[in-house]
Chains A and B, each alone.
Chain A
Amino acid sequence: MTPEIEITGLSKVFGQGAAAFRALTDIDLTVGTGEFFTLLGPSGCGKTTLLRMIAGFEAPTTGSLRINGDEVAGKGPNARPVNTVFQNYALFPHMTVAQNIGFGLKMLGRPRAEVDTTVAEMLRLVRMEAMAGRKPSEISGGQQQRVALARALAPRPRVLLLDEPLSALDLKLRKEMQSELKRLQSETGITFVFVTHDQEEALTMSDRIAVMSAGRILQLGTPHDIYHAPADRFVADFIGDTNFLTLPVIAVSGARATLTLPGGQTAEAILPDGVAPTPGQSVTAILRPEQAILTEPPGATLTATVRSAVFFGTDTHLHLTLGDGQPFVLRRQNTGDLPVPEPGSIVGLTLGPGVLRVVRD
């Protein structure tokens, strides 16, 4: 099967000479048909530039971009089977909701009857039938969002590009639209390329994620891979909360290393591909706050002093100091009305097997 989007060796440089700014460097990327693909990264990482190049608003400096097997590098946005949901929706203010949704089909020269049928269908799909005759200024932000989605979906593009479409909505509406987006994607079967800086949004919605920073893709994988096996320190830090521990290596065997924990006990850590430390060297290991289990100090893998405890309802965050002074945050699930440890008390931690992981700095 042909992949929906194939990007090879794509680079983008804005400006020239001394003022030149390299927005994207050597991007290689393949998005499968019907996939929910997310470009995730902090602002300025180049994710929006990449999306705009897929849409056709920016021309690549080098590299090739294929959509459904066709090279599109020289084609304008109106010649690509791709539609965009813009960050601030960009609905045409002088047209009604229905006219906005029908615009793409009208420009494609579809017969009026077909346009009307599709518009009605789209209005139903995004549950906006009652608003068909309103102007964009007369509907709420969440409703505008739905109209923008319907407008981009109406011409049945091969790929739907979404540029941080949920960032302008409040939290409750955002959650609602997240599931709405997933529903629309599974109902239409269209490939979605979603841009966001919100890691939670990326984890919950995507089939695969490309984590970007400074114009490069740092890691490409499923949400599970990216959370549990981050490629480097940046990814580990950007996705979820992480404890970074600097630990000395005792022994290395294959893809595993034995590290000394503060307090003297040892633990096995997984090594990423291409990282082979020598015994005696110190490495950075990561441990997610929920991956350590709170126990009594005797028999624990690690002991720590409680600095403070923050109660969140579903869980309690314990800010700890390990034996050698390194800080550590532990998240304890509140499975019942558990006592909250007093600041200054000593607690024990046990690590599950295979949770400790060395990351590239």
Chain B
Amino acid sequence: MARAPDPDRDRHGWKWLLSAPALVVLVLAASGPLLIVAVYSFLSPGNMGGVAWEPSLEGWFKVFFSRDIFDPENVSWNTANLTVFWRTVWLSIQTTLICAVLGFPTAWFIATRPPHRRALWLFLITIPFWTNLLIRTFAIQELIRGTGMLNTVLLALHVIDEPLQLLYSNFAILLGMAYVFLPLMVLPLYAAMDKLDFRLVEAGYDLYASRWRVLWHVILPLVKPGFVAGSILVFIPSIGAYVTPRVLGGGRTMMLGNLIALQFGQGRNWPLGAALAMLLLILVTVALVVYLRAVNAEDEEKRHG
């Protein structure tokens, strides 16, 4: 009697080859360029930009330290770079928090509309994506600059006596990034709230919880996956932001993205730029791992606590 074909055999056969196109794309489009950046960060800068194929740790060294121009042995912390790192991380954290605080009521508003209206509200949320980022950023610049709309109105109303210097500051960057990234927080939060069983909210009220306590003990824990996804979606592009700090922060208030661009441009120090880019990658990865660990640990604690 012939044996029935072993189903496991097929599973271990050549089927993985079907994923070959995806693997090729992953290697060429994701790992390849990354590998080039990693390699460049360990080379020497070329005279006219580019890299010279001489192994060197100078790029990585300059990320953190600077040498005195006249006395190369005199090494000190590169405070300019460190300031940029700190500003980048701090502004990104603030952006994420602002987006969370503004995004929650926005998403809640949409999720509690009648189903046929929600699509319209979601559509409105995504409308800014239809316009070029640069143009939207210039529009914000136009709003808050010295002779811009905000100052003109406030001056006319005699709220202020002289124009507020808002542009080219951390505040301007924060405003721009929160505006640009807010939809990235709203959409995953909405997705989480859409799945929220509103009977659980009723059950909370029924069991003597006030509105705030229902929010705290029932709604927030249940939409936490939305916050986690939204935070990641906002934090990561914030850390690598380029256009917003460039336009609203001016040349002085740089973020990491601008610093990297500078090294590949006027700085003509590709290895330093590559090292900074790798650092950015490491920062994001570490931040992600720490964040997700913290979130999971909290879940575990609640479970056994």
Q: Which residues of A contact B (CB under 8 A)?
A: 55-57, 76-78, 82-84, 86, 88, 90-96, 103-104, 107-108, 133, 135, 151-152, 155
Does A76 lie within 8 Å of B205, measured CB to CB?
A: yes
Q: Which of B197, B202, B213 contacts A77 (CB 8 A)?
A: B202
User: In this assembly, does B203 line the interface, its C-beta being within 8 Å of a C-beta of chain A?
Assistant: yes
Which 9 A/B pairs are nearest by Cβ-Cβ distance? Answer: A104-B207, A90-B199, A90-B203, A107-B208, A77-B205, A107-B209, A94-B221, A77-B206, A78-B208
Cβ–Cβ < 8 Å partners of B200 in chain A: 90, 92-93
C-alpha gap A56/B203 in the complex (Å): 11
Return the contact of A92 from the options B205, B210, B218, B303 (Cβ within 8 A): B218
Add 17 more A-B contacts to A55-B206, A83-B206, A93-B200 (CB < 8 A).
A56-B205, A78-B206, A78-B210, A84-B206, A86-B203, A88-B199, A90-B197, A92-B203, A92-B204, A92-B218, A93-B222, A103-B207, A103-B217, A107-B208, A151-B207, A155-B207, A155-B208
- A107 adjacent to B218 (CB under 8 Å): no
Chain B residues near A104 (CB-CB < 8 A)? 207-208
Shortest C-beta distance, A145 to chain B (Å), equals 14
Within 8 A of A (CB), among B250-305: 302-304
CA distance A56 to B206 in the complex (A): 8
Enumerate B217-242 residues with CB–CB distance to A below 8 Å: 217-218, 221-222
Q: What would be 26 A-B contacts, judged by CB atoms less than 8 Å apart?
A: A57-B205, A57-B206, A76-B205, A78-B206, A78-B207, A78-B210, A82-B206, A83-B207, A86-B203, A90-B197, A90-B199, A90-B202, A90-B203, A92-B200, A92-B203, A92-B218, A93-B200, A93-B222, A94-B221, A96-B303, A103-B204, A103-B209, A104-B207, A107-B207, A107-B213, A133-B304
A-side contacts of B199, CB under 8 Å: 86, 88, 90
- A residues in contact with B303, CB < 8 Å: 96, 135
Majority secondary structure, A binding face: loop
Interface of B is mostly: helix
CB within 8 Å: A-B pair count: 63
How far, in angstroms, from A83 to B222 measured CA to CA in the complex? Answer: 22
B221 vs chain A, min Cβ distance (A): 5
Smallest CB-CB separation from A134: which chain B residue?
A: B303
- Complex formed: what's the CA distance from A83 to B197 in Å? 18
Q: Which of B203, B204, B206, B302 has the most CB of A within 10 A?
A: B206
Q: Which residues of B contact A108 (CB under 8 A)?
A: 208
Chain A residues with CB under 8 A of B203: 84, 86, 90-92
A91 to B200, CA, bound (A): 7
Give chain B nearest CB distance to A309 CB in angstroms. Answer: 47
Q: Contacts A86-B202, A90-B203, A92-B203 hold; do A78 and B209 have CB atoms under 8 A apart? A: yes
For the complex formed, measure the closest distance between the CB of B207 and the CB atoms of chain A, giving whole angstroms: 4
Measured between beta carbons, the chain A residues less than 8 angstroms from B217 are 103, 107
Kindly list chain A residues whose C-beta atoms are within 8 Å of the C-beta of B207: 78, 83, 103-104, 107, 151-152, 155
| A133 CB contacts on chain B under 8 angstroms | 304
In the bound complex, residues from chain A placing their C-beta under 8 Å from that of B221 are 94
Bound complex: CA A83 to CA B203 (Å): 9
Q: How far is the CA of A181 from the CA of B208 in the complex (A)?
A: 23
Q: Which of B197, B200, B205, B302 has the most CB of A within 10 A?
A: B205
What residue of chain B has the Cβ atom nearest to residue A82's Cβ? B206
Determine the chain B residues whose CB is within 8 A of the CB of A107 once the complex forms: 207-210, 213, 217
Which chain B residues lie closer than 8 Å to A84 at the CB level?
A: 202-203, 206
A146 to B243, CA, bound (A): 57
Compute how far the CA of A81 lies from the CA of B205 in the bound complex, rounded to whole angstroms: 12
Please tell me if the beta carbons of A94 and B302 are within 8 angstroms of each other in the complex: yes
Nearest to A148 among chain B residues (CB) is: B203
Docked Cα-Cα span, A88 to B200, in Å, equals 10
Query: How far, in angstroms, from A84 to B222 measured CA to CA in the complex?
Result: 21
Residues of chain A lying within 8 A (CB to CB) of residue B208: 78, 104, 107-108, 155
Q: Is the CB of B222 within 8 A of A57?
A: no
Whole-angstrom CA separation of A76 from B211 in the bound complex? 10
Q: Complex: how many Å from CA A310 to CA B206?
A: 48
